[in-house]
Structure formats: C-alpha cells, structure tokens
Chain A
C-alpha cells in the first residue's frame, strides 16, 4: 500500500483521538458545514423523489443477477467489452492486461470509489502505466500519497495552505495560497496529461440495463475529458450501479446530485452508449466495462441487501457528527462515514476489515434520515454489532445464510441467499459465547427480576460512594475500571443517594412530600 497514514493509530479509537487533536484538520473540517445545509434544504423540497428512488433501487436489487446479465448483453450489443471481476485482484488483473494488450502507457482517471476499492491507480503504476488522477481533490491526495477522505470532496481534510504545499512538489516554483491560482495551475498541468493520455479510467454512477448507457456525473468536466481524448476507456462499475431502465435516471440523477452537492443537477452528466462509431472523430475507439462484484451479490436477499441501494452521494457523511469530527482517514478504509461503517465489513471477504467501525456510532440516526434511498444505516450498524461480535475474523453474513425467511416473505426458501432482515427477528442468530455476550447475559438475567435489580443497584450505589466527589449530586472524576473511556473526557455521575423508587416509597409512606 503506497498510501501514507495521516491519521495515526492502531485502532479506530486511537485514530479518532489523533484526528480530534489535529488542529489543521479540525479547521479544514469546518468547511463541511457549508455543504450540509444546501443538501438538506434541497432534499426537503423534493420528498417525492426520495420515496420513488428508494423503490426503484429495491426493485432492481430484488433481481440484481438478472439485471446484470441483461446489462452485459446490451453492452455487448453496443460493442463494449464487458468483464466480470469477482474480486479486486481480478479487476486489477483484467485492467492491467487490457493496458498491456493495447500497448497503453499513460492513463488519466476520473474520480471513482470503485477504483479506490480495487487500488487501481497503484496497480497500473506498478505495471509501468503512468496514472494521473484528474479530479482536483483526487489529484491533491494522489500527490500527497494519501487516500480521499470524503467520497465527494476527497481533500476536505486539507487547508488551502496544505494544498499549495502538496502541489508545489509538482510545480516549478511555490504556488500562491489562493483558490483561483491553484486551480489555474492544476488546469494547465493536468491538461497536458489529458492530451497525452491513451487510457481513460472512469467509474460509473449508473449503468442502465435496457440501453447500456453508462452515466458519469462531474462538476469539473474531467469525466468528459477522460472519455473523449484517450483511445481506450475502461469503466469500473460495481454491480449495484446497474439500474433497470434508462428512464429511472429521471429520478435517480437529480436525487444523486442534490444529495451530494445540493445542486439540481451537476454541471456535467455524460451518457455513454458505447465506443466511437463510424464517422466520429473523437471518443474511445475501445470501451471496456469491468463489472465488479467483490462480495456484493452475496448480500442480495440478506439483511444487508439494502446497503446495495447506496448511490454514493455522501449525504450520510455530511450529517454524521462522528465523521464531521474525525474525517475519513480515521476510518482506515476506502469508504468512510456511516455508509463506510456498514459497507467495509460487508465487503471484507476474509472478515478482517472494518470490524471496529460499526461500534463507532452514537446511533443518532442522522444518517438514516439523510439517506436519499432510505437505507436504514443505523439499524444496519446495530445488526453488524451483533453479527461481528465473535472474536477473530468473522463473516457478518454467516448468521444470515441459510436462515429461514420470515413469515410472509415473498421469496421461496432456498431461493436467494437467506433471510431478508428488516422484519426478521434479531435474536437466536448465534449462541452467545464471548465475554461481552456473557456479561450482557448475566446483567440481563439479573435485571429481568425486580430482586436482582434491587440487589445490584444497591451494590453499585455503595461502590460508587467511594471516590465520589461531594456535592448535591455525586460525580466521579477518578478513573474507574470499566468507565475509563468515559472519565477520560467527562466526570461520571454516581448513583443518587436515594433512587427514584426509594423516594416513591417515601412519598407513599408520607415521609416525603412532592
């Protein structure tokens, strides 16, 4: 991995602490607020789009393998070379092979989370193909040797002064710390790369199964340039980007742009229907589409199917109080924010990645509320906390596969991959067998009886008196075993001298008057 770690720490908690202590990062993150309110306002104006989009996405996902097949046939008919990649390794191999076969040496890339997911730029560079990110934010993080920290604003973590410092390494002299000047320099610098490129790498915001239309959405216009100038274009498209009908764009396109940037429509929407045709003088002579699975299809029919509805707008990042404080790098994952906390462990085929991400949420529900396609992100985080609780690498889907579909479910048993979640019971999925489960189990057994509750709270009250500061209410400042995470930043309340029920009894006995 060539990416530099800029938010140090072995655990998410340690990285979060680094991020919070990083003064420049905290300064840069204040800029995120400006986006927040436009996106929210616009969404409030078009509530009907949200319900329609959510329904359209579910309709496609319910039969995703068939829609993928259809997409492949239609693309093939348009003269597009279609590849299916089950894993990031397979995708990298396919694309490097295309470059070798075609004799390509200079690639320009537009912003694409799928290419981040498969670490494509590194793979191409290692294969001797000069690969330049062309989205301004992506270019900045590429030069800095970092990952994007936000899927829409990749360099949101950098102040202007930091950007100038980074890009200076590619300029002849120092760059002024000024937006327009840096942008103008980047334009000239990257324009030369565009004109020299023989390979254009893009993602795909949508691909329509009925027409084979590949849709790219940008504001900079770099997506257009990547598909216009180079002789060969490769689009990396995760399988869930398939939409059933071209006409679905009428709903999904404005919803994406409004949720992402608050715009009614982004300045450039490019709809590509195959490679250059006879009589045309520009556009790719050869167009490849790499359909990336990477564990997505196995989510179909499970509790986590909803996550495939995601259109990568970034709205959940913008409203997330945790993201707004720690930024993307602290997650140490390609996808960050609430959607990243859900998707990262789901895409980890060996069950080792993103295990501590679902825990880093207050479950405030702002993400669920902001999601334009109604993914119940907070609920999925709770479910992942359950499915990932066993120590060691674990497949979060292990409890899903083979589970009985809930009553009234419209899929036949054996069809699909398991039970659909939202209405399925959460319990009896896996026997409790680790420390946390045992602790909660003991606690619940105790508190499921009034006498157990009374005994344990009396004990806690006695214990907490020790070391508590005196006052009208007791507060604990010292580190207490099990409460260290709390008392590191806050005083902890000690149990009241008399509980509510003590006071209720006192009132009933006439010893106390309210």
Chain B
C-alpha cells in the first residue's frame, strides 16, 4: 500500500472532523478501538457487528469485553429494541477513500445499517490495505463485488448548516466518528514501531 494514500486518508478524514488513529499494528489498533469505544459509550452498551471481517480478524468483540464494554452484538434478538440506547457503534469498513476521508460500510447479515448512525458515537476500523485513492476507485471497487443490500458512505459526523449556515455537529447521527487504521501485516504503511 502506497504510504501517501494512508497519509492522505488520515488528513482528509481529520479535515472532515473525524478523529483518526494509526496506522497501528493489529494489536494496537484493537486496543485503541476498544478503549475509545468504551470511553465514548460512557457506560452504555457498545453495538458491534457479528461476522464483519475486520472486527473478527482483530478479535475486537473480545477486546471490547476485556476493556469493560457491555456489548450489544448484532446477533442479539433485542438489537433493534436496544440500539437506540447504545452509547457507541463499532463498524468495520470495506474500504476508505483517501481523497475524501470516506469510509465504505457495507450492510448485511450481522452488519446492521443502524450501527454507524443511531448511537451518539461511531468507531470504525479500516485496514490500510483497503484504502483507495479516489471516489472513482471506490465506485470501481464496488462494481467488481456483489452489491450489498445497503452500502453506506460515511465521511464525518452528522452535521447541519440549516441554522443560518452555521455548522453544527451531531444533529441526527453521531457527534463523533473515530477511525482506526490497521497497518498492513507486512509493515508497509505502518508508521509505528511493532508493539
């Protein structure tokens, strides 16, 4: 992975009001994602997907539990009833767009549509290897794969300028978005020393 793509992604996401972490190796990324989620949830439950490749690979659910989070997994029958009270939602991104700081969140079984938008905080993990340069690249990537029932692009917190064109954050969706970039296992794009 071209390092400048990672840097551009982090810069664009920051500009959009996203709090960025990384690139971090898998262990550090997992720890940071878990700790941020617990902190942001403020004692309320953390909604997590079940079967999301990034979340599974990192063992993020276990890490969250270990960090003290009370989980609301997407397999829970009460998910729909409880998601409104969750304090944070955790997602894994299929890809990220460097030019715009955008996260691509496919929805499907175990990866509900509401995780990134209903709780007041959103924490997302994305692999550096999955970052693409431009919107065009992202559209091309989606064209090559089966379309999920919904693909959500998230480029920042919920915002509005409807009151006198004054930018206000957190109108409907999350007030905060954190993204944790997981460095390639090969070390390319990894700006930190191994843990």
- The number of chain B residues with a CB under 8 A from chain A is 54
Residues of A within 8 A of B80 (CB): 281-282
Q: Does B188 contact A (CB under 8 A)?
A: no
- The answer to whether A225 touches B149 (Cβ under 8 A) is no
Determine the distance from Cα of A191 to Cα of B150 in the docked complex, in whole angstroms: 21
- The answer to whether B117 touches A183 (Cβ under 8 A) is no
**Chain B positions 91-150 with a Cβ under 8 Å from a chain A Cβ:** 97, 99-100, 102, 107-110, 112-114, 116-118, 134-136, 138-140, 142-143, 147-150
- The answer to whether B171 touches A136 (Cβ under 8 A) is yes
- The answer to whether A247 touches B140 (Cβ under 8 A) is yes
Residues of B within 8 A of A264 (CB): 12, 99-100, 155
Q: Which residue on chain B has the smallest CB distance to residue A210?
A: B143
Q: Which residue on chain B has the smallest CB distance to residue A246?
A: B143
Determine the distance from Cα of A213 to Cα of B173 in the docked complex, in whole angstroms: 23
- The answer to whether A275 touches B149 (Cβ under 8 A) is yes
- The answer to whether A153 touches B139 (Cβ under 8 A) is no
Residues of A within 8 A of B150 (CB): 227, 270-273, 283
- The answer to whether B16 touches A156 (Cβ under 8 A) is no
Determine the distance from Cα of A134 to Cα of B171 in the docked complex, in whole angstroms: 10
**Chain A positions 212-253 with a Cβ under 8 Å from a chain B Cβ:** 213, 219-222, 224-225, 227-229, 246-247, 249-251, 253
- The answer to whether B108 touches A35 (Cβ under 8 A) is no
- The answer to whether A183 touches B140 (Cβ under 8 A) is no
* Known A135-B162, A267-B16, A282-B113; contact A220-B172, beta-carbon cutoff 8 A: yes
- The answer to whether B148 touches A273 (Cβ under 8 A) is yes
Select B165's contact among A156, A184, A246, A251, beta carbons within 8 Å. A156
* Known A137-B162, A267-B155, A267-B156; contact A281-B135, beta-carbon cutoff 8 A: no
* Known A273-B147, A280-B107; contact A267-B159, beta-carbon cutoff 8 A: yes
Q: Closest Cβ of chain A: how far from B148's Cβ, in Å?
A: 7
Residues of B within 8 A of A35 (CB): 161, 165
- The answer to whether A250 touches B136 (Cβ under 8 A) is yes
Q: Mark B41-56, 1 if CB is under 8 A from A, else 0.
A: 0000000000000000
Determine the distance from Cα of A140 to Cα of B84 in the docked complex, in whole angstroms: 24
**Chain B positions 6-30 with a Cβ under 8 Å from a chain A Cβ:** 12, 16
- The number of chain A residues with a CB under 8 A from chain B is 68
Q: Does B170 contact A (CB under 8 A)?
A: yes
Q: Which of B108, B113, B118 has the most CB of A within 10 A?
A: B113
* Known A35-B165, A179-B166, A225-B118; contact A268-B173, beta-carbon cutoff 8 A: yes
Residues of A within 8 A of B163 (CB): 136, 155, 160, 163, 179, 182-183
Residues of B within 8 A of A275 (CB): 149
Q: Closest Cβ of chain B: how far from A258's Cβ, in Å?
A: 11
Q: Which residue on chain A has the smallest CB distance to residue B147?
A: A273
Determine the distance from Cα of A156 to Cα of B100 in the docked complex, in whole angstroms: 27
Determine the distance from Cα of A282 to Cα of B117 in the docked complex, in whole angstroms: 12
Determine the distance from Cα of A250 to Cα of B138 in the docked complex, in whole angstroms: 8
Q: Which residue on chain B has the smallest CB distance to residue A192?
A: B84
- The answer to whether A225 touches B154 (Cβ under 8 A) is no
Q: Which of A160, A222, A271, A272 has the most CB of B within 10 A?
A: A271
Determine the distance from Cα of A267 to Cα of B12 in the docked complex, in whole angstroms: 12
Q: Closest Cβ of chain B: how far from A39's Cβ, in Å?
A: 12
Residues of A within 8 A of B149 (CB): 272-277, 280, 283
- The answer to whether B162 touches A153 (Cβ under 8 A) is yes
Residues of A within 8 A of B102 (CB): 265, 269
Q: Does A21 contact B (CB under 8 A)?
A: no
Q: Does A187 contact B (CB under 8 A)?
A: yes
Q: Does A376 contact B (CB under 8 A)?
A: no
Q: Which residue on chain A has the smallest CB distance to residue B158?
A: A221
Q: Closest Cβ of chain B: how far from A139's Cβ, in Å?
A: 9
Determine the distance from Cα of A213 to Cα of B147 in the docked complex, in whole angstroms: 9
Q: Mark A139-156, 1 if CB is under 8 A from B, else 0.
A: 010000000000001111
Determine the distance from Cα of A182 to Cα of B163 in the docked complex, in whole angstroms: 9
- The 4 nearest A-B residue pairs measured at CB: A221-B173, A279-B109, A137-B162, A269-B153
A-B contact pairs, 9 of them (CB 8 A): A159-B164, A179-B164, A184-B170, A221-B173, A221-B174, A228-B114, A263-B155, A272-B150, A283-B107
Q: A219-B161, A228-B113 are in contact. List 20 more A-B contacts (CB 8 A).
A: A32-B165, A137-B162, A153-B161, A153-B165, A163-B163, A183-B171, A220-B172, A253-B139, A264-B99, A267-B159, A268-B117, A268-B158, A271-B147, A271-B153, A272-B150, A273-B147, A273-B151, A279-B108, A280-B108, A283-B113
